[in-house]
Every structure is written in structure tokens, then in C-alpha cells.
Chain A
Amino acid sequence: MQRIGVFVCWCGSNIAGTVDVKAVAEALKNEPGVVYSANYQYMCSQAGQNMIIEAVKEHKLTGIVVCSCSPRMHEATFRKTAEAAGLNPYMVEIANIREQCSWVHKDMATGTEKAIILGKAAVAKVNLNAPLTPGESPVTKRALVIGGGIAGIQTALDIAEAGFPVDIVEKNPTIGGKMAQLDKTFPTLDCAACILTPKMVDVAQHEKIRIFSYSEVEDVTGFVGNFDVKIKKRARFVKEDVCTGCGACVEKCPMKKIPNEFNLGMNNRTAIYIPFAQAVPKVATIDANACNMIKNGKCGICSKVCTAGAIDYTQKDEIISEKYGAIVVATGFNPISMDKFDEFAYNQSKDVITSLEFERLTNAAGPTAGKLLRPSDLEHPHTIVFVQCVGSRCASCAEKGKEYCSKICCMYTAKHAMLTRDKYPDTEVYVFYIDVRTPGKNFDEFYRRAVEEYGVKYIKGMVGKVSPEGKKLKVQASDLLNNKQIKIDADLVVLAAAIEPDKSARPLATKLTASMDTNDFFTEAHPKLRPVESPTAGVFLSGACQGPKDIPETVSQASAAAAKVIGLLVKDKLKGNPCVARSNELMCNGCSSCERVCPYGAITYEDKEFRMPDRTTKVRRIAKVNPAVCQGCGACTVACPSGAMDLQGFANNQIMAEVDAICK
């Protein structure tokens, strides 16, 4: 028989406001096995934990039930407490009387009654708990960073600096990501290239970093410390180690009318191309869909002009298998499609552009060499209208756009408006805003400068319709402060398109079994306390894949993720989860049902000799679980017809005891 201590937490008024904690402690005192019961304001505090430790010693407790917040919050805390008190940490069960009781029920009587039942279920379970010892597994001391934007670059550099090898997988031909496309950065107006490209070079030159550009993650198996990853290196038809990046091929390529992705299609590139001058790796890539040689076998000019002999039209996609201890997701963002917002005429006029396109228009390396010219006729625009919140902050019932605030638009629009007025004082610049959101260091000051020093006209209101007519864009908008509908003949309209996670994130999350929210942003292990970890152990989050972020925030989070990865990789061994499946060999039929449902291949079979009661021996096929590989899902336990397979920590009799306690 266990000697169980019950500890009921008030969580200040969070629990005690709706649950009579004293009554709960009192009621649970009479449950079988319970020898001690107490309540306290904050069980998770040092004082609360000490109280548990004291009680364990004083009452010789063998099991602990904490009635408190969700086990997802403090189960680990109380397990450590138990360990400190000399108990096996797995002799602790949590009754979730906050998230699943006090916070969702209104009156005291109901809350208390339910809390008691949840407590009883936990007591019933602890009665059947057994000490568990986690197995250990070695850690592969190499990290994988998926995505080579500023987030991935920073994470990779930080991990590599700590001495661990890092591989970056980038789906584009070059690393650099969105930041490489930007002109200046707010609020200090550094040139993005000036601060990014040195980092890109650092990455390229770092002996601990390998870059797999033009590559994608194909498959991920394994678990924290021991991931097996297959990386698909797409054929770029250029030998990376031979190409010198001289650009002779690009110059001579006859296929010159391919929309240039780097400039968002505002100009053209050739079929063989280097995305931009500072690309890393600086190697050419052949766009197989555009290359005449690859499609029809006719051309081959690039091969002729390449003095290094780097062109290889027969190159095939290559699969690289590598082991990693940790994986960092840094897949970033994209502006959303403007198709559902054509009241702004994005699809009807070349002179309605997104803010990212505006970045390229003002970038010295962009399609207009940095001169602000409107795309339709390359004339200088005199009246520019910026529209904020296009597709952001949309209610789900409006069935278009995103519900969240994209966070970066207010600041980059202020930057665009300011820079335009600075460079071209003859332009009129209007910004239509709903709210201006500038919570950041020097952010509001920056926005005010745009208004006060640069004369940008901020108008509170939204644009309702943009009608291209002749050379003008007729903008109809509301000015809420003056209660007027205003009409502006603009030359250029810039839409602050909402941002969304990259489309590759969803399939990647499935491969990683990492969870995502409804917007396809990766979910953190805890929104406040574990913001750079995914709930899947060993998978970390860096940058905008977790939520909209500006550059300073992205870089901080990238470094934070790196710190977490380093903390993992310095360990030689990892303690596993002891809640794994175990087969009772006496009951096992050897039928293979469990093996077939195991997603990890953790189950194997062996022939074992059994001594029978009549002193004969009998050889039977029985299942064996590899505890280092088993992740503890429990699929096998249900597939097993005889019940030989059970899950430690969530055993059949434990769950049934909980059922019984609830249904009493």
C-alpha cells in the first residue's frame, strides 16, 4: 500500500477563487492510501516545494498528488521536488484543477466537486504508480538549421561558435532570406545588405558550418539527440565546388526573360543565374524549367563559356542522410497573396505594389537601381499612398486575410514614407492607418520623426477602392478624424501586405511532428517560459516561423534558440522518457500486432525458452521493446490482444483506476 500525500494549491486566487481548496484537501484525506493532506497558496514556490519535501520525510510518503495547474506547466517542477525529497520522480501525479477546473467553471460548489473528483482520480493512479528510471541515449553533437535567412544564419553562427558543427538547409540557391531583399532597416536605417552580407560570409567561411543550398528536408526520423534526417539536394546542374561564380554563363545565357524571384518578378533573369551579387554560396544555378538545354537538349552555351567546367546538365537530385542532435526551424515568412484584396487593384495595375516590392524599388541593387520609379512607365511618382493592414487583423468571419497583426508593417511603412520624403522631397506621401503600433526601442520616436520632420501625411482611416484610370490611381479612402471621404489621384499605391509563415512550414511540421497553430505558425513549448522550443523535444524555433517578428527580435530569438541547442549538445547523454512500453513476456503471443503499429520500429522479436510447470521447456516468440527508441505513444498496447504490452506511467490498470474514480 502506498503512503500518499495530497497537496492542494490555491494558485493565489486562480484556483482558490472557484475551488474550496480546504474542502478538497479534506475530502481527499479519506481516499485509500492517503496519509497526509495539505493546502498552500503557491505549491510551486520554494516554500510550497519545501512543504512537500518536509511532508515526504515526516510522513514517509511513497507517492505524491499535487492538485494544481496543468501538468504541462509544473509536472516537471514537482517531479524534481519529489526527487529532492528522495522519492522516485515518477511517483508524482498532478490533478489539473486550474486550467481544467477553476478557470472553466464559475461557481464554487461545482468547481470544488469536480476538483475533488479529479483529485480522487490522481490518487487512484498514484496508488498504482511504480518507480520508473529513465534510460539514457547518446547525443549526436551536430545541429541542423532549416532555413537560411537572418534567423537561421544567426542561430547557425552562434551554435558553430560554441564549437558544434551545424548544417544549414536552404531551399533557395542562396542564403540570406528576406533580409537580403530589404533596403534599409528600421529604426536606425542601417543598410540591410551592409549588416547581413558580412554574416553570410561568416557562415560560408566558418569551418563548423555546412550550407546545403537549393535543398530541402525530405524526411526526419528519430528523436531528441538522435535525429536521422534525409536532405534532398536539388540538382542545380552546376558543380558547386567547381563554379567560381564569375558570371560568364549568366551573361551569355540566351534565355533572358525569366521573372526574377529576387526582385519579385519586377525584372527578368536568365535561365542560369546567381540570385544577387553577394549570394552565398556564390555559384550559378540552372532553372531546369527555363533552360533550353535541359528541356530540349538545344543550347549548351553556358557549358561552352564556363572556363572552370562547372556545368553538368546530367546532375540529379541527391539525397544526403545525416544524424543530428538538435533541429532548429527557421523557415521564415512571406507576404500573403493580394488576390482576395483586389479592391486595391493589385492585380489590375502594375503601380499597385506590396511593401516588399517597394523595398526592391528603392534598393540600389533592385530593378531600378534604387531610383524610385513606378513600374508601369518608369516615371517618378509624385503622389504615393501607403495602405496599412492589408490582410492583417481580419476577422475570421470575413473569410480573407489573417486574424493577427503582422507587427512589422507600421514600422517599415514609416521607414518607406520617411525615406521617400527624404530622397524625393517633391513627393506627397500619404499613409492610411487604423492604428500605428510602435512598441519597440526607438520605434515611436522613429514614427513621429516621419510625421514631424519629414512631413508624411498620416491619415486615420482605410482605403476602400483603388481605380486605375489613365496614368493615375484614383484612391478613395476615409479620413475618420475629419469624418470625410477623400479622393486622391495617386501615382503609386503601396500595400502593407500581411505576412504568413512560409508554405514549406506545414509539411515540415508534419515531418518533425511539431505542432502548429491555426495560422501555421509553429507552437512554442510554453508561450512565455519556453518561447524558442517546440513541444517536440529537440526541435527549436527561430524567427518568424513562430510568429511575426522584426529583425532585432528575430536575431534575439535566433540566439536564444542557439543557446538552447548548445545546452542540449554539450550533454553527452540524454535521459529518456521512462514512460515507454514494456512487454510481459509470459503473456506475449509473438503475434507481431504491436510491431506493425509501432511508428518507431522500437519492437523486435526473439525466441525465448520458457520453463513450463511440468519441467519441460518451450520456445516461444516474444516481443522486446527498445526503450531508447520507444517514444511512449501506446499504440502497441491497444493492438496487443492479450494485454501483454503495457505502457509504463500510463498503464492499463492506472487508466482504469482513473476511469473508476471518475465514474464512482
Chain B
Amino acid sequence: MDNNLLKEELIRISGAKPVKCMSCGKCSATCPAYEQMEYHPHQFVNMIANGDIEPLLNSKSIYKCLTCFACVDRCPRGVEPAKLVEAVRLVSVRKQGNNHLTANDIPQLLDEEIPQQALVSAFRKYTK
């Protein structure tokens, strides 16, 4: 997809406002998944604003966000980075055959204690 169209799509899906970003980096400062991410929250915002979206779609980073909303609540500009990350992930997993998690993967991931909640959440986040 054309990058500008893709950018608009992401903004539409997320309802977030990358244009309001002032590049303070507080989202990345507060992110608990920072170390696991190749692209960090502030980069998501900046890259989407610049239409540089392809690398994000192909990055594992989109599965590392915990949707803990720390970046959303602490952003001084009301940008809502987590919603942008989710939008990128959705654009990726909504593609045919692009589910990040399948039912077959589950058994080996389970242990005795793991709550159902974790499974349904992961499915919500990783598959379509």
C-alpha cells in the first residue's frame, strides 16, 4: 500500500494523533517492553508521521507492546502511542496467513498455572 494511504489507515484505526508529538521521548522512557523492542514507541510515532511504516510492519516490536497504556497516560501531548502500535500490528495480522499465533502453537506454550486470560488476550492481540 502507498505509504501515505497506510499512514492514514493507521491514524483512522487508532484514532491517535502522531502530528501532536513534540519528540520528548517520554513514551519510550516509560515503556516496560523497551529492551525487547527493535523500534521503540517514540519511533513508532515518528516513523508513522513520516510514512516510514514498512519496517514497523515487519518488526517483532509489534508483538512486544503490552498495551499497558503507560505511554498513553504519560504522554504530555495526548499522542497515544500504544494505539499506533496496535494499529500497525492489526494491519499486519489482518493480512491473510499473517497470524502471529495459531492454535497449534498453544500446547507447548502452556503450563499448569497459566490463566485463560493470557490465552484469550494473546489471541486477541496476535491473530485475526
Contacts and interface: CB of A to CB of B under 8 A. Distances in A.
A–B contact with Cβ pairs below 8 Å: the answer is: yes
Interface of A: 343, 389, 391, 393-401, 434, 460-465, 476-480, 483, 485
A380 B52 CA distance: 47
Interface of B: 17, 20, 22-31, 34-35, 40, 42-43, 70, 74-79
A389 B22 CA distance: 12
A460 B30 contact: no
A631 B35 CA distance: 67
A485 B78 contact: no
A398 to B, nearest CB: 4
Nearest to A394: B76
17 contacts: A389-B24, A393-B77, A394-B76, A395-B20, A397-B77, A434-B22, A460-B25, A461-B25, A464-B74, A465-B30, A478-B26, A478-B34, A478-B40, A480-B42, A483-B40, A485-B29, A485-B34
B78 A462 contact: no
Nearest to B26: A462
A521 B16 CA distance: 30
B29 A477 contact: yes
A478 B74 contact: no
A434 B17 CA distance: 19
Nearest to B73: A343
B24 A461 contact: yes
Given A465-B30, A485-B34, A480 B25 contact: yes
Given A399-B78, A462-B29, 4 more contacts: A394-B76, A395-B78, A461-B24, A485-B35
A434 B25 CA distance: 8
A478 B28 contact: yes
Contacts of A400: 76
B55 to A, nearest CB: 14
A483 to B, nearest CB: 7
A223 B20 CA distance: 44
B17 A397 contact: yes
A397 B30 contact: no
Contacts of B22: 393, 434
B85 to A, nearest CB: 16
B76 A393 contact: yes
Contacts of A476: 29-30
A62 B74 CA distance: 64
A462 B24 contact: yes
B127 to A, nearest CB: 29
A398 B75 contact: yes
A485 B31 CA distance: 9
Contacts of B28: 461, 464, 478, 480, 485
A462 B25 CA distance: 5
A166 B14 CA distance: 59
Nearest to B77: A395
B61 to A, nearest CB: 13
Contacts of A462: 24-26, 29
A463 B25 CA distance: 8
B28 to A, nearest CB: 4
A465 B74 CA distance: 9
B64 to A, nearest CB: 13
A396 B77 CA distance: 7
A464 B70 contact: yes
Contacts of B23: 434, 480
A396 B79 CA distance: 11
Among A393, A395, A479, which residue has the most Cβ atoms of chain B within 10 A? A395
Contacts of B76: 389, 391, 393-395, 398, 400-401
Contacts of A391: 76
B24 A343 contact: no
Contacts of A463: 26, 29
Given A464-B31, A480-B42, A397 B20 contact: yes
A477 B20 CA distance: 21
Contacts of B75: 398
A-B interface, 4 closest residue pairs, ranked by CB to CB distance from nearest: A464-B30, A464-B29, A397-B78, A462-B26
Nearest to A477: B29
A477 B28 CA distance: 8
B75 to A, nearest CB: 6
A399 B78 CA distance: 8
A397 B29 CA distance: 20
Among A398, A434, A476, residue most surrounded by chain B Cβ atoms (within 10 Å): A398
A637 to B, nearest CB: 46
Contacts of A464: 26-31, 70, 74
A393 B77 CA distance: 8
A479 B23 CA distance: 11
Nearest to A485: B34
| Residue of A400, A401, A476, A478 with most chain B CB atoms under a 10 A cut-off | A478
A483 B43 CA distance: 9
A186 B82 CA distance: 40
A477 B25 CA distance: 8
Nearest to A481: B25
Contacts of A396: 78
A47 B10 CA distance: 56
Contacts of B34: 478, 485
A463 B74 CA distance: 10
A649 to B, nearest CB: 45
A569 B43 CA distance: 59
A524 B84 CA distance: 41
Nearest to A459: B25
A478 B78 contact: no
Contacts of A394: 76-77
Nearest to A461: B25
A343 B27 CA distance: 12
A464 to B, nearest CB: 3
A552 B31 CA distance: 40
Contacts of A389: 24, 76
A429 to B, nearest CB: 18
Nearest to B21: A395
Nearest to A401: B76
Contacts of A479: 25
A197 B74 CA distance: 41
A61 to B, nearest CB: 52
